[in-house]
Amino acid sequence: MAALVLKRAAPLDRLRAGHPWIYRGEIADLRGPWSPGDVVDVLDGAGHLVGRGTYNPRTSLACRLFAGRGEAVDEALVRRRVAAALAYRRAAGLAGDAFRLVWSEADGLPGLVVDAYGPVTILQCFTLGMTRLVSWVVAALREARPGSRLYRWDDAAAARIEGFTPERGWIDPAGDPSPAEVIVAEGDCRFAVTIGEGHKTGLYLDQRENRPAVAAHAGGRRVLDAFCYTGAFACHALRAGAAGALLVDSSAEALAGARRNLELNGVAERAELREGNAFDELRQLERRRERFGLVVLDPPPFTRRKDALDAAARGYKEINLRGLRLLEPGGVLATFSCSHHVTPALFESICRDAAGDAGVTVRVLEVLGQARDHPVVLTVPETRYLTGLLLQAV
């Protein structure tokens, strides 16, 4: 096994506290034979073992630690980590019809995401190193969820960065390669999940706890679900007694999924679907002086890069300003950011500025975040990416 030697100035306290990332600039040397994606020993500047992780010189984040000084990176470790991830979710009552089973660094398996949708388990590799361990992951998932159909759906963007060929398809030898739809339950709602199509299969699991929490404010109100994707927020709101809902998205494919979900939940007759740019639609609704009792803003990430943070902040401020102006007296705004560079403090500041410019006084009803099956590790702040606020116009 090759040995990666850290510079003496490398942040050992951060690594020993559980943060698993080592950047290229923190590496002094690499000794012994290796190839990209290999597991390597990680040594401090004095030659002491820090841990073991996968190494990829192609990226600035060059090594991700998997194990401490007393552990080997092997099939037994992967099995333990997957079993522990499932045990946590079962103990917390999170292992329902659809849930995240493995959340990368938060579950000690950097570069791996596993989602369960009814009888199907979807695994995604985000790093070259994880692709080298995937056979162990498959064995662990078969043990953890016996009888579940396994589908591999690697992240294409991550594959380009990491330098591997993404795979997509059924892992089971007898699996049908054609997309298969499964229906999953989430509280009082049911949603269609098409395996192998759409983004995140058409259902974002990180909002699974926020959707019913937001819907609790929908009774008798008109709802605007901007950036609606496949309409999960609107379905919950309508099932909770909303008078009607306007769903806006720029994707015809997403709106087709929303229509399917509205029909599945028996609420399609109270919903209007509108294809268009949500920024433009928010402006037009304001010009027409339309008002809503509940506005949901759940856009895709406005940036994945720290150097584009200012532009992202302007985008978040714009939509929140418009959303606040569309509220009727006493109305509620549920607003979110899934750009992990936008911290909760920054997002709150953006919304504060938007409220000031909109001339709307709001009270904070609740601070929202990602569902508990996407756990946040305190010493790995990058595991927190979804932040939200539930605001009420006074």
CATH number at residue 143: 3.30.750.80
Domain end marker among 67, 84, 109: 67
pLDDT computed for residue 10 by the predictor: 87
Domains in the chain: how many in total? 3
CATH number at residue 302: 3.40.50.150
In a domain, 183, yes or no: no
Q: If pLDDT is split at 50, 70 and 90, which confidence band does 69 have?
A: confident
Domain end marker among 67, 83, 102: 67
Domain end marker among 27, 44, 67: 67
Task: Answer for the pair 232, 209: CB distance below 8 angstroms, yes or no.
Answer: no
Clarify whether residues 342 and 236 are in a common domain. yes
In a domain, 247, yes or no: yes
CA gap 244, 271 in Å, rounded: 6
Three-state SS string over 154-193 comes to: CCHHHHHHHCCCCCEEECCCCCCCCCCEEEEEECCEEEEE
Domain span at residue 292 reads: 192-393
Clarify whether residues 56 and 95 are in a common domain. no
pTM of the full predicted structure? 0.93
Clarify whether residues 22 and 90 are in a common domain. no
The per-residue DSSP string of 10-70 comes to: S-HHHHHTT--EEEGGGEEEEES---TT-EEEEE-TTS-EEEEEEE-TTSSEEEEEEE-TT
CA gap 230, 368 in Å, rounded: 21
Clarify whether residues 252 and 367 are in a common domain. yes
pLDDT tens for 312-331 read 899 999 999 999 999 999 99
Clarify whether residues 361 and 310 are in a common domain. yes
pLDDT computed for residue 308 by the predictor: 76
pLDDT tens for 17-66 read 889 999 999 999 999 999 999 999 999 999 999 999 999 999 999 999 99
370 to each of 211, 274, 321, 388, how far by Cα in Å? 11, 27, 23, 9
What tokens appear for 365 in the block? 């009803």
Q: How many CB atoms lie within 10 A of CB 378?
A: 9
64 closest CA partner among 21, 18, 6: 21
Clarify whether residues 337 and 280 are in a common domain. yes
pLDDT computed for residue 151 by the predictor: 93
CATH number at residue 16: 2.30.130.10
In a domain, 172, yes or no: yes
In a domain, 187, yes or no: no
> What residues act catalytically?
338
Number of residues in the chain: 394
Clarify whether residues 114 and 164 are in a common domain. yes
Pairing label, strands 292-297, 327-337: parallel
Clarify whether residues 45 and 87 are in a common domain. no
Clarify whether residues 300 and 332 are in a common domain. yes
What tokens appear for 348 in the block? 């709150």
Q: Which of 111-120, 160-169, 203-212, 339-348 has the lowest mean pLDDT?
A: 339-348
**CB-based contacts of 63, cutoff 8 Å, min separation 6:** 4, 21, 22, 27, 40, 42, 53, 54, 55, 56
Clarify whether residues 362 and 215 are in a common domain. yes
371 closest CA partner among 212, 220, 219: 212
Clarify whether residues 132 and 207 are in a common domain. no
Clarify whether residues 316 and 379 are in a common domain. yes
> For residue 116, is pLDDT > 80?
yes
Pairing label, strands 168-170, 181-186: unpaired
In a domain, 224, yes or no: yes
pLDDT computed for residue 175 by the predictor: 60
